[in-house]
Amino acid sequence: MALVNEHFLKLPNNYLFADIAKKVNAFKAIHPKADVISLGIGDVTQPLCPAVTEAMHRAVDEMATTQGFRGYGPEQGYDFLREAILKNDFLPRGIHLDIDEIFVNDGAKSDTGNIQELIRWDNSIGVTDPIYPVYIDSNVMIGRAGILINGRWSNVVYMPCVAENGFVPRMPENSHVDVIYLCYPNNPTGMVISKEELRRWVNYALRNDILIFYDAAYEAYITDPKIPHSIYEIKGARKCAIEFHSYSKTAGFTGVRCGYTVVPKDLTAGTLDGKRVALNPLWNRRQSTKFNGTSYISQRAAEAIYTPEGKEQVRKTIDYYMHNAHTMLSRLRALGYEVYGGENAPYIWMKTPRSMEKGKQENASPSWRFFEELLYGAHVVCTPGVGFGPAGEGYVRFTAFGSREATEAALDRIEKWHK
Ligand X SMILES: *Cc1c(COP(=O)(O)O)cnc(C)c1O
Instruction: Give the binding site for ligand X (CB under 6 A).
Output: 42, 107-109, 112, 132, 183, 187, 215, 217, 246, 248-249, 254, 259
Q: How far is the CB of 400 from ligand X (least distance, A)?
A: 13
Closer CB to ligand X, 97 or 108, in the complex: 108
CA angle 118, 122, 128 (to 5 degrees): 80
- The residue whose Cβ lies closest to ligand X is 107
DSSP annotation of 36 reads: P
Q: How far is the CB of 347 from ligand X (least distance, A)?
A: 9
Closer CB to ligand X, 342 or 366, in the complex: 342
Closer CB to ligand X, 252 or 366, in the complex: 252
- d(C-alpha 323, C-alpha 351), whole Å: 21
Which residues lie across from 259 on neighbouring strands?
105, 246
- Residues 6 or more apart whose CB falls under 8 angstroms from that of 398 comprise 39, 328, 332, 347, 348, 350, 382, 383
Closer CB to ligand X, 144 or 249, in the complex: 249
Closer CB to ligand X, 366 or 392, in the complex: 392
291 phi-psi bin (left φ>0, alpha ψ -120 to 50, beta other):
beta
Q: How far is the CB of 105 from ligand X (least distance, A)?
A: 8
Proportion of the chain in helix, strand, coil states, percent, rounded to 5: 45, 15, 40
Q: How far is the CB of 123 from ligand X (least distance, A)?
A: 21
- d(C-alpha 341, C-alpha 190), whole Å: 4
Distance of CA 364 to the CA centre of its chain: 28
Residue 228: is the preceding peptide bond cis (ω within 30°)? no
Q: How far is the CB of 90 from ligand X (least distance, A)?
A: 18
Q: How far is the CB of 215 from ligand X (least distance, A)?
A: 5
Closer CB to ligand X, 112 or 230, in the complex: 112
Q: How far is the CB of 290 from ligand X (least distance, A)?
A: 16
- d(C-alpha 190, C-alpha 218), whole Å: 9
Buried b (16+ CB within 10 A) or exposed e, 294-304: bbbbbbbbbbb
Closer CB to ligand X, 109 or 144, in the complex: 109
DSSP annotation of 170 reads: P
